[in-house]
A and B are shown apart, each in its own frame.
Chain A
Amino acid sequence: MNAPADATGCTLGEVMIAALARTIRDGSLVFHGFGSPLVQLAMHVAKRTHAPHMVLVAGATYAVDPRPPFIPPTSNDWVLDRGAEAALDIEELFDLAASGRMGRMFLSGVQIDRWGNTNVTRLGEGATMKKLPGGGGGGNLSCDVEAITLWTGAHRAREDRHGRRQFRLVERCDFVTNVGHRTADGRTRTELGYRGGGPDWLVSDLGLFDFGAAGAMRLRGLYPDTSVDDVVMNTGFEPMLIGDLATIEMPDAEVVAIIRALDPLRVHERELRTEDRNRRFPLGSAAPTGPSPVGVGS
């Protein structure tokens, strides 16, 4: 098992979990998909701190308000539905979103564009196409759910073997698996008549973003160890910059204790690269209050 940070500090994963948790409003029905341990933990943190009345629906098991003893590395496991008050089946879960009962869902992508479209289906096409695992129910949920939090632990662009930067935040997705605020052909959510409002936050390893009135991504917050330059250099489009950038709130000791107790295998760190796993931050003093990850109005 990986060693977590000492008791006086916290890790990037823990800060991201706390930021994701703060996007959750108390009293809403919230769902995470499979393959998303940062989000699983964020939902349990929210439920145990500022959002005790949230309806927590776990991905893959569709368990309602479970109390898992720990987070395993796969999502469809009886570990994750222990202590649940109820369980849904697949049609009931997706019906909840289609009928407007689901308040928030979390989505990620191997590509994320400025409008919050995400791609987990394929990179490129034809003979050089790279197949990605696929999006589960995101193609439906991104349209139907009231609000979406996007996240990625791999914003920092890597170079391929030709020295070209491989962006996670791209100008244009090669395939739109999950819709954001504007489709590939330029149509808006209003024109398409979706039930949900689309992504309102993106939590990345470099910063925190929201989406302006026209639906374009805006930088809102930074980590103590990242800068505007880091964000600009690692983003495939020009992110909108507005004034008053905040420093992302650090989790307090209680939140960090919840995470460490629930994730002794440090499964959530598998969403992060080695260099990012080693980032350390001081603990914060405030418990999450929601619904804003930077503590300013949304």
Chain B
Amino acid sequence: MTGVYTATDKMVDLPTLAAQVRDGDGVAVGGGLSSREPMAVLREIIRRGVRDLRVVGSAHGIDIDLLCGGGAVGATAESYVGFEQDFGAAPNYRRACESGTVAVEDSSCYTIVQQLRAAIEGLPFMPIRSARGTGFPSLHPEYKTMTCPFTGEELLLVPALAPDIAILHAQYGDAHGNLRIEGPPVADLLFARASRNVVASVERLVSTDELAALGGPNVPYFYVSAVAEVPFGAHPTACYPFYAYDRPHTALYHEAASAGAEAFDMRYLRPFVFEPADHDAYLGRVGGAATQARLASWADGTDTWLRLYDEAIV
């Protein structure tokens, strides 16, 4: 039976968890834009030298850009990869797409939602009325059209999409694999239900009773095969209520990535991905306790929250 995981204790360390991601896997990365992306797991995947991942998702940023910069991606069906008004385009993603090392299979959010839903419902496809007339069908020869037998209208059929593995970062989880995601789930809940396997890093590992007291899981344990407790595991993206987005670190990242592949290797991959022996060493490199206190200060009030985004403070 695929996709039903019943072990009582799924706690593993970060390298063991990341080792589940294999060359060529179809991967759904959780979170979105500058929020709750499983960055520690992604750094570990790059350290392991994983190749040819086929990534799919909605609006993403540093997560997919880092995977591209680390040479781990073979094809992208993301709907957006960038840094919005904050820093603009995603430099590694763009280079990888333009050089042809990453196949461009861009998609659109609802198309992906419907493909995931087909997988969740055990159906071969889902119909949509939209996306016909756009350029997307030219990137996806697998889409078909049909005439609706009820209304006579033309519909686009998009095939079921079951990622090999979903990689999520949740605020809370227990050893059994139950996950509690707080705030916008982005596509994480769909990813969990549609994927053949789910692995998750969590900010806080709690008991099943404590998880129930927090409001209970929104990803039940049987979807999940492995859980690792990785505090600050989403850094430099946000994982509220614990910490906000690390804008100065993202500025450093973007500057290194914009300077070219070699500069990115020297100024980012080596110091922040390859040289730190483990996640704790990474946290030391990005400012340790002082950075953690700064990012937690969002909760002190609007003024301190606002200061975390001030361009003058880098």
By a beta-carbon cutoff of 8 Å, the part of chain A in contact with chain B is 1, 34-35, 37, 60-63, 69-70, 72-79, 81, 87, 89-91, 94, 97-98, 119, 121-122, 129-144, 175-179, 183-184, 187, 192-195, 264-265, 267, 270-271
Residues on the A chain within 8 Å of B32, using CB: 60, 76
A176–B135 CB distance below 8 A:
yes
**Which one, B59, B153, B312, contacts A76 given CB within 8 A?**
B59
- Cβ distance A145 to chain B, nearest Cβ, rounded Å: 10
Chain B residues bordering chain A, tally (CB within 8 A):
64
- Cβ distance B262 to chain A, nearest Cβ, rounded Å: 20
A-B contact count (CB 8 A): 193
Residues on the B chain within 8 Å of A70, using CB: 302, 305-306
* Distance, CA A247 to CA B58, complexed state (A): 39
Contact with A along B274-311 (1 / 0, CB 8 A): 00000000000000000000000010001001100111
- Cβ distance B188 to chain A, nearest Cβ, rounded Å: 9
Residues on the A chain within 8 Å of B302, using CB: 69-70
B240–A72 CB distance below 8 A:
no
Given contacts A73-B309, A79-B305, A90-B58, contact A270 B106 (CB under 8 A): no
Q: Which 5 A-B pairs have the closest CB atoms?
A: A133-B82, A137-B109, A139-B108, A143-B130, A140-B110
B133–A176 CB distance below 8 A:
yes
Residues on the B chain within 8 Å of A138, using CB: 108
A91–B33 CB distance below 8 A:
no
Q: Point out which of B33, B35, B59, B82 has the most chain A C-beta atoms below 10 A from its C-beta.
A: B59
Residues on the A chain within 8 Å of B187, using CB: 90
By a beta-carbon cutoff of 8 Å, the part of chain B in contact with chain A is 31-35, 58-59, 61, 78-86, 89-90, 93-94, 97-98, 104, 106-111, 113, 117, 128-136, 153-154, 183-187, 189-190, 238, 240-241, 244-245, 247, 298, 302, 305-306, 309-312
B129–A195 CB distance below 8 A:
yes
* Distance, CA A122 to CA B262, complexed state (A): 24
Residues on the A chain within 8 Å of B85, using CB: 35, 37, 73, 267, 270-271
Residues on the B chain within 8 Å of A130, using CB: 94, 98
**Which one, B31, B117, B153, B309, contacts A72 given CB within 8 A?**
B309
* Distance, CA A192 to CA B98, complexed state (A): 32
Given contacts A73-B84, A140-B131, contact A133 B110 (CB under 8 A): no
A60–B80 CB distance below 8 A:
no
Residues on the A chain within 8 Å of B79, using CB: 134-137, 139
- Cβ distance A76 to chain B, nearest Cβ, rounded Å: 4
Residues on the A chain within 8 Å of B81, using CB: 133-134
Given contacts A34-B80, A177-B135, A192-B132, contact A136 B108 (CB under 8 A): yes
A1–B312 CB distance below 8 A:
yes
* Distance, CA A35 to CA B79, complexed state (A): 13
Residues on the A chain within 8 Å of B186, using CB: 60, 76, 90
* Distance, CA A90 to CA B117, complexed state (A): 12
Residues on the B chain within 8 Å of A121, using CB: 106, 135
**Which one, A75, A139, A176, contacts B130 given CB within 8 A?**
A139
B35–A76 CB distance below 8 A:
yes
* Distance, CA A166 to CA B109, complexed state (A): 29
* Distance, CA A193 to CA B154, complexed state (A): 8
* Distance, CA A63 to CA B186, complexed state (A): 11
**Which one, A142, A176, A195, A264, contacts B306 given CB within 8 A?**
A264
B129–A87 CB distance below 8 A:
no
**Which one, A62, A94, A131, A133, contacts B184 given CB within 8 A?**
A62
Residues on the B chain within 8 Å of A140, using CB: 108-111, 128, 130-131
B108–A137 CB distance below 8 A:
yes
B311–A265 CB distance below 8 A:
yes
* Distance, CA A35 to CA B166, complexed state (A): 25
- Cβ distance B142 to chain A, nearest Cβ, rounded Å: 16
A94–B110 CB distance below 8 A:
yes
A133–B135 CB distance below 8 A:
no
A94–B135 CB distance below 8 A:
no
